[in-house]
Structure 1
Amino acid sequence: MTLHLEGLRRRVVKYYFIMIAITVALFEVLFVFYMKEYYHGIARTYLEQQVDNISAVNFTSFEDAINDILERENVNKDINLGIQIINKNKEVLVDQYGIKTGEKINYDDVNNALMGNEGYNIFTYNILRTKDHVMSISVPIKVGNSIEGVVRYSISLNEVDSVMIRMGIGIFIGGILILLICFLLSLRFADSLIKPIQDLKKTANQLAQGNYNITLSNEKLHDDEIGDLVRTFDHMAREIDKTRKLKEEFISSVSHELRTPLTSIKGWSETLSYEGISKEELDLGLGIIQDETERLITLVEELLDFSRLASDRIRLQIGNVNVAKLAKDVVNQLGVKAREKNITLLTEFNTKEREIVEIQGDKNRLRQVLINLVQNAIKFTDEGGYVVVRLSQGEEYTTFSVTDNGIGIEKQNLDRVLEKFFQEDYNKSGSGIGLAISNEIIKLHKGKMILESEKGEGTNITFTLKNNLIDAIAE
């Protein structure tokens, strides 16, 4: 499967840019709209103030009305305000310059005022002849109850429109600049996302080619999900490399473990085939062949158990287990090996033996665990030392511990001893998977194994088991 990084970068930039562009466009439209409403609102308010000055006046004659209106406008002279007095024939009699134009007009606001409609509507329109944009309002001039004409106030919106156009252009240019800045930022943002993924891609290709000794650069990583992914991938690469080395050392160790007994068996088989061999030599050779064969069988069984654990195929045969008898049987079985090294091997019960009850578990697997722990303790304990198997039991749990005063384990290796293939000293015999298998068997029993050790002081390995395993599995 191909990872199209450029396509991903393009999509990030595109959607980020579209989002910002829509936001900027909406802002500009809303800004222009509200600015237009603001300026037009000021003009409307100003026109309404002019209307309020004369709307309630009922004049005695049309001429008086004209004179009164003109006097008012002379007092409140505003060059931005246009005024026209129109008779009921829609002819302009006077404008703001006092000229009688006689021009006949036909505007909606004038028609509305002449018809005497209640309320005064403000109209906005364009005058094609002068190309003016005008806002106007007309008020009827009443003499008695009769409408004799109209006074029309108007304001040119050309200047407002010019200001709006300049502001619109400024906003548009500002929007373009914002979009440009956002585009550059989106490129930077996309690069911050894509660069770690590109590094991951290169690392994955290196791993696929078998190069596990690689390190990802964490200098520019952010503290986010992608940063966590890169760090996790980096950790995975290191763990794969570590596991690869452990497997190589494991294969080397297992090869040595297989070669040694096979060499002994082959050598003694050839020796026993010679004529004239003595009875003592025959017994010695057969004993060695038998011991080395047992050693090979144990190694093969460990490898088979490891394979089953790796594929999750180990199944417990749960039954009742007499743990007190189990501890004593293992000690008795390995007593000969302990005496060969002048090591004291004994059993201690922290709970009275007669009070210890049977627990639920796989007797053969628990025996395998205990044998493995005791054999290791004997192997790593010097002559004259001791190995003690202790057993205690409570209402819910049963605890085994195997303690020795052997060579111990370095502090930095304590967390790794239970890992598959790990051996602190690869010159020692063993496959390096016995403790790992034992730990997995204890986990299958819903128990826990704890290892404590000091270099040169000895080791104590404790594992705790549920007394009622079936209930624990059901939970």
Structure 2
Amino acid sequence: MLHFEGLRKKIIKNYFTIIIITVTLFEGLFIFYIQNYYYDYVRQNLKNVVENTNSNYNTVQMESSSFEKKVNNIIEKENLKYNSRYAVTIIDKNKNIILDRYGFKTNEKADYEDVDRALKDAKDLVPYTHRIAETNEHVMSISIPLKTNNIIEGVVRYTVSLDHIDQVIFKLILGLILAGICILLIAISLSLRFAEGLIQPLIELKQFANELAHGNYKIKLKNRNISDDEIGDLAETFEYMASEIDKSEKLKEEFISSISHELRTPLTSIKGWSETLGYDGIGKEELDLGLGIIQDETERLIKLVEELLDFSRLASDRIKLQIDMVDIRVLANGVVNQLRVKSNEKNIKLEAIFETENIENVQGDKNRLRQVLINLIQNSIKFTSDGGFIKVIVSQNDEFTTMKVIDNGAGIETENLDKVLDKFFQEDYNKAGSGLGLAISNEIVKLHGGNMRLESEKGVGTAITVTIKNKLIESI
């Protein structure tokens, strides 16, 4: 059942209003044109008759001097007594009707606008439309002065009935009105169909959005026919959004599971060793081992918390760079030396290679760039087997500085390459980590006017290339 409310009501109202205005204007103009066409035809005929009369009167005026005789000659020549199309009235210069439209002599006065204009010898003789008081007949009249030696002796007046023409015009107007009503009915029908065609997809989109609001991200659109226009594009965007939200929700669930494990493991170790160290008679060797484990697990927790804080800052655009001049050679060597102890534990060869001999200092945040390089190398150490290698290759040109971390580790599946930089993503959730390190590093690199590119092959290794601008601001 149709309900005329909301958007449907607006569409139908506006559409219907436009049609009414259009039809009304069209019919008004057409009616005006029809009426003028028929009336102009009558006016032209009256003017032709007037011209003939004027010509005939000028012909007979030399033959007789009597006004009445001149008039009779006009009537006889034009055969007006027997011409029922025009009614002729002869009027003298005192407005007395000498011969009325029925051919009788009367003593009535001819008080008409067109007669007055003729007696005043007006230059433009315009047909005069009016109604006869006695019969209510609609007529058109025109009067012409009869002059001898430029002296007006009287007026001849021609009158033609417009009733028949009015009937024709009325029938045409009635036909136009009926046609307009048909057009309006068709317009209403089309506007209803148009409104339904527009509203129905929107109703489905509304239902789709409600399902999304209630957490149903697996919902699919039922009506596939709406995918042929802009609303269809919007519907497909909704579907895509739902699938992306579903993926994000899964990633969040996996992240929560992973982060819970990441938090629980060091906390359990800290709690266990703190209780163990509280026992009496504990030896120095066991004490050193316990304190070392507590220290390592504490650093692990601090790193995890820092990543979560960075993620929060990135999500709210609150990370601000402390721009300074950074010596990339010193930075890369420092990070490599710092992590070499960890790489040596897995017998992994870690080295820094500088392809450009003279590397200039760059503008950037030293601590954030150090964080990026540490994240990349730590990831490589985590996914590289014993006896492998990790190379940090640094190069520079006039505009950009590039740091490339290459390993021969486990590699990444091809279908996951586009997801590695996403927040919370981990290819192997059994490995330690929050899944935020690469995502945060990528955002830091973007803040430095650069980009991060991944190349990897499963079982062969991974190469991550970081490119940053040498100059972020003109002067520092």
Shorter-chain TM range is 0.7 to 0.9
What are the ranges of 5 or more consecutive residues in structure 2 without an aligned counterpart?
none
Q: Secondary structure, in 3 states, of the residue corresponding to 1:390? A: strand
Question: Which residue in 2 is equivalent to 1:247?
Answer: 252
> Are 1:407 and 1:455, in contact at CA under 8 Å, matched by a contact in 2?
yes
Bigger shift: residues 121-130 or 111-120 = 111-120
Partner amino acid for 1:10?
K
Partner amino acid for 2:133?
L
Question: Which residue in 2 is equivalent to 1:456?
Answer: 459
CA–CA distance in structure 2, aligned partners of residues 309 and 256 of structure 1: 24
CA–CA distance in structure 2, aligned partners of residues 370 and 77 of structure 1: 117
Decide which of 412, 418, 434 is 2:421's aligned counterpart: 418
Question: Which residue in 2 is equivalent to 1:102?
Answer: 106
**1:39-438 equivalences in 2 (<5 Å):** 39-56=38-55, 57-58=57-58, 59=61, 60=64, 61-74=66-79, 79-88=84-93, 90-93=96-99, 95=101, 99-102=103-106, 104-106=108-110, 107-143=112-148, 145-216=150-221, 219-221=225-227, 223-224=229-230, 226-272=231-277, 281-352=286-357, 355-438=358-441
> Are 1:253 and 1:426, in contact at CA under 8 Å, matched by a contact in 2?
yes
Partner amino acid for 1:181?
I
Partner amino acid for 1:371?
I
CA–CA distance in structure 1, aligned partners of residues 282 and 114 of structure 2: 139
> Are 1:92 and 1:105, in contact at CA under 8 Å, matched by a contact in 2?
no
Q: Secondary structure, in 3 states, of the residue corresponding to 1:313? A: coil
Identity rate, percent: 59
Q: Secondary structure, in 3 states, of the residue corresponding to 1:185? A: helix
> Per-residue deviation at 1:267?
3.8
CA–CA distance in structure 2, aligned partners of residues 132 and 254 of structure 1: 100
Q: Secondary structure, in 3 states, of the residue corresponding to 1:296? A: helix
CA–CA distance in structure 2, aligned partners of residues 448 and 397 of structure 1: 11
CA–CA distance in structure 2, aligned partners of residues 220 and 78 of structure 1: 72
> Per-residue deviation at 1:34?
1.6
Partner amino acid for 2:229?
D
Partner amino acid for 1:29?
G
**1:27-38 equivalences in 2 (<5 Å):** 27-38=26-37
CA–CA distance in structure 1, aligned partners of residues 32 and 386 of structure 2: 97
> Are 1:422 and 1:432, in contact at CA under 8 Å, matched by a contact in 2?
yes
> Are 2:75 and 2:81, in contact at CA under 8 Å, matched by a contact in 1?
no
Bigger shift: residues 25-34 or 251-260 = 25-34
Cα deviations by residue, 1:344-372 (Å, 9 ceiling, x for unpaired): 221111101xx122222222211111010
Q: Secondary structure, in 3 states, of the residue corresponding to 1:176? A: helix
* Alignment RMSD (CA, Å): 2.9
CA–CA distance in structure 2, aligned partners of residues 68 and 124 of structure 1: 28
> Per-residue deviation at 1:21?
1.5
> Are 2:395 and 2:401, in contact at CA under 8 Å, matched by a contact in 1?
yes
Partner amino acid for 1:180?
L
Quick one: structure 1 residues 34 and 210, their matched pair in 2 at CA, closer, same or farther if it must change by over 3 Å? same
Relative to the length of structure 1, the TM-score reads: 0.88
Quick one: structure 1 residues 77 and 121, their matched pair in 2 at CA, closer, same or farther if it must change by over 3 Å? same
CA–CA distance in structure 2, aligned partners of residues 286 and 357 of structure 1: 42
CA–CA distance in structure 1, aligned partners of residues 229 and 83 of structure 2: 65
CA–CA distance in structure 2, aligned partners of residues 379 and 440 of structure 1: 22
> Per-residue deviation at 1:162?
0.7
CA–CA distance in structure 2, aligned partners of residues 338 and 145 of structure 1: 129
Relative to the length of structure 2, the TM-score reads: 0.88
Cα deviations by residue, 1:69-119 (Å, 9 ceiling, x for unpaired): 234433997643333344456324365x7x435363523323433454444
> Are 1:361 and 1:469, in contact at CA under 8 Å, matched by a contact in 2?
yes
CA–CA distance in structure 2, aligned partners of residues 86 and 350 of structure 1: 120
Cα deviations by residue, 1:10-51 (Å, 9 ceiling, x for unpaired): 233223322322222222222211211111111111111111
Partner amino acid for 1:202?
Q
Question: Which residue in 2 is equivalent to 1:470?
Answer: 473
CA–CA distance in structure 2, aligned partners of residues 38 and 26 of structure 1: 18
Partner amino acid for 2:104?
K
CA–CA distance in structure 2, aligned partners of residues 319 and 113 of structure 1: 103
Partner amino acid for 1:321?
V
Bigger shift: residues 315-324 or 140-149 = 140-149
Q: Secondary structure, in 3 states, of the residue corresponding to 1:152? A: strand
> Are 2:96 and 2:108, in contact at CA under 8 Å, matched by a contact in 1?
yes
> Per-residue deviation at 1:221?
4.4
> Per-residue deviation at 1:266?
3.5
Cα deviations by residue, 1:180-208 (Å, 9 ceiling, x for unpaired): 22223333333344344434433443343
> How many pairs were matched up?
465
Q: Secondary structure, in 3 states, of the residue corresponding to 2:79? A: helix
CA–CA distance in structure 1, aligned partners of residues 51 and 468 of structure 2: 98
Q: Secondary structure, in 3 states, of the residue corresponding to 1:469? A: coil
CA–CA distance in structure 2, aligned partners of residues 334 and 418 of structure 1: 23
> Per-residue deviation at 1:377?
1.2
Partner amino acid for 2:181?
I
Quick one: structure 1 residues 54 and 332, their matched pair in 2 at CA, closer, same or farther if it must change by over 3 Å? same
Partner amino acid for 1:7?
G
Quick one: structure 1 residues 87 and 439, their matched pair in 2 at CA, closer, same or farther if it must change by over 3 Å? same
Quick one: structure 1 residues 407 and 72, their matched pair in 2 at CA, closer, same or farther if it must change by over 3 Å? farther
CA–CA distance in structure 2, aligned partners of residues 332 and 115 of structure 1: 121
CA–CA distance in structure 2, aligned partners of residues 425 and 103 of structure 1: 122
Q: Secondary structure, in 3 states, of the residue corresponding to 1:219? A: helix
Whether 1:21 aligns to 2:20 is yes
What are the ranges of 5 or more consecutive residues in structure 1 without an aligned counterpart?
none
> Per-residue deviation at 1:441?
1.3
> Per-residue deviation at 1:385?
2.4
